[in-house]
């Protein structure tokens, strides 16, 4: 039988308590072999600035654009007739080129 911990406000080391992390704060998990004071590696690269997707959506009305956290690719929903299409690209410029080609029917020229 396990004896109760002396300090009820602090859980035993190696156990997690819901109140250990403030609400809304996310911390990376550490392997058991990492000492408690060592910094944790980030889970993933932070997403690009929202202004990039906002810029694309402002340039093409009706188009929805986002950065895929799991795919690490740019995505856009283009509402074309009769059904919309989903586009993806590695860079924002490549996505803009695909959207323009889909909407205008001709290759995108950035110097236009």
Residue with tokens 């590695």: 90
Task: Answer yes or no: is pLDDT of 62 > 60.
Answer: yes
- Rounded to two decimals, the pTM is 0.51
The three-state secondary structure class of 79 is coil
Q: Give the HSE-up count for residue 21: Cα atoms under 13 Å, Cβ half-sphere.
A: 9
Domain boundaries, the chain: 50-104
Q: What is the mean pLDDT of residues 23-44?
A: 62
Q: DSSP character for 111?
A: T
> What pLDDT is recorded for position 25?
62
- Residues 85, 89: Cα–Cα separation, whole Å: 13
């Amino acid at each position: 039988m396990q004896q109760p911990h002396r300090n009820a406000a602090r859980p035993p080391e190696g156990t997690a308590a819901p109140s250990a992390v403030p609400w809304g704060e996310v911390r990376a998990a550490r392997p058991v072999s990492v000492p408690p004071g060592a910094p944790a590696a980030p889970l993933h690269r932070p997403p690009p600035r929202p202004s990039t997707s906002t810029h694309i959506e402002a340039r093409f009305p009706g188009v929805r654009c986002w950065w895929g956290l799991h795919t690490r690719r740019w995505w856009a929903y283009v509402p074309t007739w009769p059904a919309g299409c989903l586009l993806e690209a590695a860079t924002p410029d490549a996505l803009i080129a695909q959207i323009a080609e889909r909407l205008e029917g001709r290759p995108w020229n950035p110097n236009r």
